Amino acid sequence: MEIKTIEERKTTKPIQKRCVDLVKEKYRDRLKQFENAKSFFDKDEEKKWDWKNDNPECDQYDGYDDFFDYVNKSGLCFDRVEAGTFKDQRDGYWRWQLSWGGPSDEFRLFDNGDLEYWYLDWFDGACVQVKDEIFEHIMSNFKEMSCEDVC
């Protein structure tokens, strides 16, 4: 049996960042993703394909009809989360869930108009307030379509 000193037993583990350390970066990544897609789909057809030839990363937009189609297929669901669904949750909100598991991310639109981006990992989560028009517009459109039968 090998006996190790305290110093030998210490291991250098990489510091695992918490959601609060990552949420702004993850939000900026999502913002860039959707701004790039909108920029691509807003171009007229001729310019779009010229631009695509110069930017091979635009191949990711193949198979989508337009920006709304891209947005709609980028998320897992858009649904209503009623108040009290989760422990200590006072207010209900509309949720656009983009990914699930660990980690996951989603946008939450509250009835008072507040919009938040959440980055969540097992037993951890953090959010940032969203003021970017692109996400305000997306969430408003999803809510409007969801409310046709419910609200």
Question: pLDDT category, 5, cuts 50, 70, 90?
Answer: low
Q: Is the dihedral of CA 138, 26, 23, 79 positive or negative?
A: positive
Higher pLDDT, 16 or 122: 122
4: exposed, middle or buried (Cβ count in 10 Å: 0-12, 13-18, 19+):
exposed
pLDDT band per the 50, 70, 90 thresholds, residue 22: very high
b/e for 60-98, b at 16 or more Cβ within 10 A?
Answer: ebeebeebeebbbebbeebeebeeeeeeeeeeebbbbbb
Per-residue pLDDT at 151 exceeds 80: no
Position 98 scores a pLDDT of 97
How large is the average pLDDT for residues 119-135?
95
Q: Which residue has the higher pLDDT, 10 or 31?
A: 31
Q: How many whole angstroms separate alpha carbon 35 and alpha carbon 3?
A: 57
* Per-residue pLDDT tens digits for 29-86: 999 999 999 999 998 877 777 777 777 777 888 899 999 999 999 999 999 999 989 8
Q: Are the C-beta atoms of 110 and 96 separated by less than 8 Å?
A: no
| Arithmetic mean of pLDDT, 105-127 | 95
Cβ–Cβ contacts within 10 Å for residue 120, how many? 19
- pLDDT tens column, 91-111: 999 999 999 988 999 999 999
Q: With a cut of 60, say whether residue 149 has pLDDT above it.
A: no
So where are the chain's domains? 17-85+92-150
**Contact of 118 with 126, CB cutoff 8 Å:** yes
Report the distance separating Cα 132 and Cα 66, nearest Å.
20
Radius of gyration of the chain (CA): 20
Helix (H, G, I), strand (E, B) or coil at 3: coil
For the whole model, what pTM was predicted?
0.83
Cα–Cα nearest to 99, from 21, 42, 26, 11: 26
